[in-house]
Structure formats: C-alpha cells, structure tokens
Chains A and B, each alone.
Chain A
Amino acid sequence: MRKYWEISKTYMKTQLVWRADVIFNMIFTISKILFAYLLWGIIFQNKESVGMFTFHGMLSYYIVSSFLSQLEMSEGISNEIHERIRNGTFSKYIVIPAGIERYFMAMELGIVLFYLVFDFAAAVVWIFIFRIQFVFTTQWRVIVCAVLMAGLGMIFMIRLNYFLGILTLRFEGIGTFLMIKNNLVSLVTGSIVPLALFPETVTGILRLLPFYYVTYLPAMLFTGQCQEEAVRGLVIIGCWCVLMQSAIQNAWKKYFRKYDGAGI
C-alpha cells in the first residue's frame, strides 16, 4: 500500500506546483456559489419553495453538489491513457512494478485530497459570508451512507474513465465515448438542475444508472432528503463498481495484446 500512498503524495505535490491553478480553482468554487446565490435568490423571490426545496435548502444542496462534482476529476485519467496510448508512451505505466489501475486510483486520490481541503475551505467561507442557514442531516446513519456513496461514486467514475481510456487500445479514438459520458454525467448527476425537478418516471429510470449516486443522491442525503434511498443507493452503486471492474478486466485482457506502443 505504501507505494500507492507515495503515488498519491506525488500527485498532491504536482498540484502544489502551479499557484495560479490553486487560486483559480478557489475562485471558480467561490464564483459558482455566488452565481447560485444570485440565481436562486431571483427564483425564490416570490416563492417559499421550489419542488421540495426552500431557498436555503436549495443553496445547501447546490454547495454540497458542486463541492462533490468539483472533486470528481477522473476525466483526466481517460485523457491521460488515451494520449499516452496514441503517442506510444503508455509503456511508462507498463514497465513499473505497480498495478496500472491502482496507480491511477492513487493518482486520483492525491488530486482529490488536495482539492478537498481547498474546496471545503472555500465552501465554508461562503456559507458564513452569505449567512446561509446550511441544511444538513443530523442522522449519523444517513451521513455514513452519504460518505460511502460519494466514495463509491468516485471509485465508479475513476473506473469508468479508466475503462474508456483503455478502449483506446481497440478504437484508437475515444472522443465520442467521452462526449456521450460527459453529457450523460452532466444531466444525471444533477449538477446542473436537481433531479427532483424531473418527472417521477424520468428519475425512476435515472435511479438505475450509476451517475445518480455520484453527486446527486449523496448531496441530497447530506442535506437531509431522500433518506429512504440511502441503503438501496449504496447497493446499486456498489453493483455498478463491481460491474465496471469486470468490464475493465475483460477489456484489458482482450485489448492489451493489441498495444503496439507505436507513436515514437
């Protein structure tokens, strides 16, 4: 495990190299909250609630959801694998005595841990500045479920992006897959609009997809909503993680022999 922890630390260090990146990420977090405050302020001007949300409930949801979605940066994995397979430098990962998928997991953990601190600090500061009456569940069982679900959601996204990355071995270009994934994720994670605003039949379908449990449901659970879905959600996202792992193993077994390292 030490080697993977060292990989995480190495990528944490790489995040600290460029000060502008750190500052802009914080500004981005802050501006998102500011934008949400203004937007929802206008919408709630003449209303007490929208859907099942009060103004402060909506802002709480938005802060948690954008915090989680900002931590989900696994797209870098598919891009890195794709680039390296195409230009023949993927061997960097093949020749070292570490599992390639675990390497990317550790890499992602390092990046996430770094941003976790900064984004959390930015979110807390804004909660105080806007005097948002932060709505947060007090039930420990739900908090534990939400934390586990957010963790599994991230693992799923890492695996999905890793899977899409290694599809380069077969398809050479994965731009279309990434585009479909991104559009689906934006819609289904509820990072744009809370899924509660969709008709029940639509959310019923979305509940079967893993993306529902990446940002949306953990954010809802943290803000004290949809608590009856907590355990079922954990089971579903857990199953998706297992399924995705199996897809990775099959794809790797089938396509790795196609790798020719061409490019340089």
Chain B
Amino acid sequence: MNKNQNINKDTTMINTANLVKTYRRYKKPEGIRGSIASLFRREYEEKTAVNQIDLSIQAGEFVGLIGPNGAGKTTLIKMLTGIIAPTAGTINVMGYYPNDLKNAFKKQYAVVMGQKSQLFFELTVNDTLRLFKEIYEISEKTFQANKNYFVQLFGVGDLMDVQVRTLSLGERMKMELIVALLHNPKILFLDEPTIGLDAVASKQIRSFLREINEKKGTTIILTSHYIEDIKTLCRRTIVVNHGTKLYDGATDELFERFQRNKRIKITFDSAVKTMRLRTGGAKLVVDEPYKKEYEVARQDAKALLAELMEHEPKDIVIEEEEIGIVVERIYQEGGNDNA
C-alpha cells in the first residue's frame, strides 16, 4: 500500500477564484411552426452553471459537494478535472490548469462518475486493470500491491475474471473505484458514486471511501444527493445552488443549523382515522387509512414518536429531511461567511 505521505496536510490541492461557466443553448418555439421558423432564425440563451465560485481545498480533506439537480456540482467537477474549460476565473489543481490536459496532471487524480464507466463491459476487470496499469505507467510491484489491497478491501476476489457486463451495479461501482485508485491518485473526484445502489452496497462504498481517505490520505471531493453519504463521510460540505456557493463549512454545523425537521412515517394493520395529536407543531403530510406521515421539528420528534406508539403501529420509519429541502432553506436564509 502506497500512501501519499509526501503530501503535507497544509498543501492546497485545489484553488479557484471567481470561477464561472456559462453554457449556450438553443431555444426552439413550440410546434412545427416553431421548428420551421428555427431553421431560419435561431435563438440561443446563456445559462450560468457555475457563478463566481471561490474554493480552496487542502490535502487529505474529504469534502461534500451538495445541491439540487442543475445546481452546478458536476460542472464544477468537470472544470476541476479539465473535461471542460471555465468561461472565466482562475483555477489551479495541484499546480496545473486542468484544461491543459497534461498527462502529468491526469496521473495525479481520478474521477468516478456514477453514470459513466471506465470499464470495458465485454472484458474482465483484470483485463481493464492491466490496461490501466500501462496507461498510468504503474510499476508491476505497485500494481500488484494496489490490486491485492483493493481486491481484499472490496472483497471482490472472485469477480476479477468475469465479464464486467454480468456484474451488479454495486459490484461494478466497486470495480470502478479499484480502476480509479490503482495509480494512487492524490485527488479522487466522485460524482454520485452511490446513485442507484441499495443500502448495503452504499454502506460498503462509504466504508471503503473512508478507509482510502484515512489510510492513503487521498483528498476526496464527493457529490451526492444522499444525506447519509455526506453526513457519514465529509467533515466539510459545500452547498451550491444555481451555480452559486451558498455554504462552505463544517458538515455538522450545516445540518445542525439547516436540517430542522424529521419525517415520521407510520403504518397500521387496520384502517385508522386522522388522529388528534397532543404534540404541537407536527404537520400531517400524508393521510391514508393505513399510513400517515408527519413532519415535525427535530426537538419535538421524540414526543411525537412516544405519542404515535400509543396507537400500536405496525411500523415506524424516521427520515431526515432531504438535501433539496436543506439547500432551499439555506438559499432562503443565507449560508455562512465562507460562501
């Protein structure tokens, strides 16, 4: 196992200032007339996907990047990895301008996008690993050491010689991570790595990521729609919406300040009429004969739960507020001074 021991924790890995990305997109009036008219006269609109983002990330950090769909998270990652060029602003990743696409730069990071794959679906994972060994010019010794380490860590020894296309989504994501980590990247960009995975697979992936961050010192930037991913892994979270940074700070503080409610889902064996509750502030959001859902302030959740138990429910599920609601609240109330 090769740690990135030569990287000082105070080393700035990523630095951006006033980073902007605007896209130009074609607009067509509705209907066949609109289609014909657009042959002669095209209308375009500009969309700002990332707007004046300042960012500084130190070596070894595990940073969560959250926001609703279209917030600019993936665009930001694409700029940091050089896939797309910024429209304005400055960007520096490990001393490189990413969009120069220098091989020396590309050897120092890895990117895993939940909906894109680096694997060859017809081949086995071993074949793909062998290819990446050569592409990243990894020595045989390092290759074998890393491969053994990750195969053991991910528990996928028996899957290395089967066709990738026959793997489950969870297994495939583990393989994507192995391929990405084979060359000991200093930075790992993860864009929705747990998307579509079941609870068990997501938990496993989270556990591997924590180990890689702690034991190898890899700086990790993670985007996810799942609060669980962010809460359990990231000490620091950046919230973006409409391309603008709303919050940049401790994850604990973020959820303490802005995740105020819980949702309690309760089901019954027999039909139950709308209940009159003593707990103040509980809002009934779903009212069906066999199922009720309440939204309640975090501090009142315990009292509401105790009261609901009196009605002998079949099952009770307590959920945190979704990221989208938290982001909306930050947007309305303002984030923190770092944003």
Contacts and interface: CB of A to CB of B under 8 A. Distances in A.
Contacts of B122: 14, 17-18
A10 B131 contact: yes
Contacts of B133: 6
Contact of B83 (A7, A14, A95): A95
Contacts of B137: 2-3, 97
Interface stretch (A86-94, A183-191, A232-240): A86-94
Contacts of A89: 116
Contact of A95 (B81, B104, B127): B81
A261 B135 contact: no
A150 B292 CA distance: 74
Contact of A94 (B83, B107, B115, B163): B83
A7 B131 contact: yes
Nearest to B111: A95
B130 A6 contact: yes
B136 interface: yes
Contacts of A229: none
B84 A10 contact: no
B116 A257 contact: no
A4 to B, nearest CB: 8
Nearest to A15: B122
A13 B130 CA distance: 12
Given A95-B81, A264-B116, A6 B134 contact: yes
A264 B118 contact: no
Interface string A229-264: 000000000000000000000000000110111101
A197 interface: no
B72 interface: no
B242 interface: no
A70 B131 CA distance: 27
Please classify how large the interface on chain A is, using the bins under 10, 10 to 19, 20 to 34, 35 or more: 20 to 34
A52 interface: no
B127 A10 contact: yes
B23 A262 contact: yes
Contacts of B81: 91, 95
Interface in B100-155: 101, 103-104, 106-107, 111, 113, 115-118, 120, 122-123, 127-128, 130-137
A91 B115 CA distance: 12
Given A6-B130, A7-B131, A259-B84, A91 B116 contact: yes
Interface in A84-108: 88-89, 91-92, 94-98
A5 B130 CA distance: 12
A98 B135 contact: yes
Contact of B118 (A3, A92, A259, A260): A92
A96 B130 contact: no
A94 B101 contact: yes
B106 A10 contact: no
B250 interface: no
A264 B133 CA distance: 28
Contacts of B113: 91, 264
Contact of B123 (A14, A92, A259): A14
A14 B119 CA distance: 12
Nearest to B118: A92
B25 to A, nearest CB: 9
Nearest to B114: A264
A261 B83 contact: yes
Contacts of A14: 120, 122-123
Contacts of B82: 94-95
Interface string A64-94: 0000000000000000000000001101101
A97 B84 contact: no
Contacts of B116: 88-89, 91-92, 264
Given A94-B101, A95-B81, A264-B116, A3 B134 contact: yes
Given A14-B122, A96-B106, A6 B85 contact: no
B78 interface: yes
Nearest to B137: A3
Contacts of A259: 83-84
B115 to A, nearest CB: 5
Contact of B134 (A2, A18, A88): A2
A260 B123 contact: no
B106 A97 contact: yes
Nearest to B78: A261
Contact of A97 (B85, B128, B136): B136
A39 B136 CA distance: 52
A96 B127 contact: no
Contacts of B117: 92
A3 B138 CA distance: 10
A13 B84 contact: no
Closest 10 CB pairs between A and B?
A6-B134, A97-B103, A97-B106, A3-B134, A17-B122, A91-B83, A10-B131, A264-B115, A3-B135, A257-B85
7 contacts: A89-B116, A91-B78, A92-B118, A95-B83, A97-B103, A97-B135, A260-B84
Interface of B: 23, 78, 81-85, 99, 101, 103-104, 106-107, 111, 113, 115-118, 120, 122-123, 127-128, 130-137, 163
Given A3-B134, A256-B85, 6 more contacts: A6-B133, A10-B127, A17-B163, A18-B122, A95-B83, A260-B84
